[in-house]
Amino acid sequence: MDFLPIELQQYVEKHTSGEPEILKKLNRDTHVNVLKPRMLSGHFQGRLLAMISHMLRPQRILEIGTYTGYSAICLAEGLADGGYVHTIDVNAELEMMVRRYFAEAGVADKIKYYLGPALEIIPTLPYPFDLVFIDADKINNASYFDLVLDKVRPGGFIITDNVLWSGKVVAAGNGKIDKDTQAVLNFNQKVQQDFRVENILLPIRDGLLIARKI
DSSP three-state, residue 163:
coil
Q: Which of 177, 202, 65 is nearest to 132 (CA)?
A: 65
Residue 70 in contact with residue 41, Cβ under 8 Å?
yes
What is the helix, strand, coil percentage profile of the chain, to 5? 50, 20, 30
Residue 130 CA to residue 148 CA, distance in Å, equals 11
For 6-62, the pLDDT digits (tens) are: 999 899 999 999 999 999 999 999 999 999 999 999 999 999 999 999 999 999 999
Residue 152 in contact with residue 145, Cβ under 8 Å?
no
pLDDT in tens, the chain (214 residues): 777 889 998 999 999 999 999 999 999 999 999 999 999 999 999 999 999 999 999 999 999 999 999 999 999 999 999 999 999 999 999 999 999 999 999 999 999 999 999 999 999 998 899 999 999 999 999 999 999 999 999 999 999 999 999 999 988 666 678 999 999 999 999 999 999 999 999 999 999 999 999 9
Single-letter amino acid code for the residue at 31:
H
Q: Which of 69, 84, 87, 83 is nearest to 30 (CA)?
A: 69
Residue 105 in contact with residue 73, Cβ under 8 Å?
yes
Residue 49 in contact with residue 75, Cβ under 8 Å?
yes
Residue 73 in contact with residue 49, Cβ under 8 Å?
no
This prediction has a pTM of 0.96
Residue spans of the domains in the chain: they are 6-213
Which helix (H) or strand (E) segment is 53 a member of?
helix 42-56
Residue 12 CA to residue 98 CA, distance in Å, equals 28
Strand partners, 88: 64, 114
The domain 6-213 is placed in CATH, from the list 3.40.50.150, 3.20.20.80, 2.30.42.10, 3.40.50.300, at 3.40.50.150
